[in-house]
Amino acid sequence: MKVREWFVGAACAGYLLATSGQAFAAGPRLFLEVISSPILVGESFDVTVRGEGFGQTLAGEVIDNVSGGQKFSLHFDASLFAVESVSIDGRWGFAAARKLGSVDSAAGVLSGVGFGSFPAVVDDNFGIGAVRFRALKAGEGEIGISGGEIVGRVAGASGKLIPVSFEPLSVQIAAVPIPEPGTWALLGGGLGLLAWRCSRRSTAVGGSS
């Protein structure tokens, strides 16, 4: 009987550890989303930067608000993507010089973009900004966030660092489809028929006058 109770207790403890581990792993994170899909070579597309899970820290402490973040870098596959512009969510305070940051096209790094003050009551899911890229060629590449820090009021204490996880984004660029020979033939035939009808109409009009 005692052995059976021990196994039941161990199973319950394992379940509690597993569920608590899931809750622990679900803390604040920054992630990226693609606005449009599919993306073709030569097209421009937006990638939004978002925050989620800012209700409490990984350790379970309540986050009262987020007061700022800074020094984040965004890395990307420079052979596939080129940065065209950066826009920031209007709720974040920004110095003019920090709205665009600097782009190292060769290394594939966007840096120097930070964000200032967020409303006192933080949303669990909020926008930070968006980066517009241009697709250079077909292929699949990664866009991700690294470095930086977020500061906020945690469990009643201000100026606390908030540990954040970063999730990269895999983006697929498709080649521009080339019409098949049959498609060109149909298009040429249609244009030829249209030209013939226009020619007949012109001849008919000229003859009647």
Q: Give me the mean pLDDT over the 78-99 stretch.
A: 80
Confidence label for 72 from pLDDT (cuts 50, 70 and 90): confident
pLDDT exceeds 80 at position 105:
yes
Q: Give me the mean pLDDT over the 83-91 stretch.
A: 86
Q: What average pLDDT is seen over the chain?
A: 76
Helices (H) and strands (E) in the chain — how many of each? Answer: 2, 12
User: Cis bond leading into 163, ω under 30°?
Assistant: no
* pLDDT number for residue 4: 38
Its CATH architecture, for the domain 27-182, is Sandwich (2.60)
Length in residues, the chain: 209
Highest mean pLDDT among 27-41, 85-99, 187-201: 27-41
Select from 64, 56, 26, 53 the least CA-distant residue to 152. Answer: 64
Alpha helices in 77-208 (DSSP H): 181-208
Q: Where in the chain are the domains? A: 27-182
Could you read off the pLDDT of 166-194 as tens digits, one per residue?
989 999 999 987 665 555 456 555 666 66
Looking at residue 181, its amino acid is P
Token representation of residue 95: 């110095």
What's this model's pTM, rounded to 2 decimal places? 0.70
- The CA-CA-CA angle for residues 51, 37, 147, to 5°, reads 30
* pLDDT number for residue 107: 94
Instruction: Indicate the pairing of strand 165-167 with strand 29-34.
Output: parallel
* pLDDT number for residue 11: 38
Which range has the worst mean pLDDT, 33-37, 48-52, 88-92, 152-156? 88-92
Token representation of residue 128: 């930070």
* pLDDT number for residue 104: 94
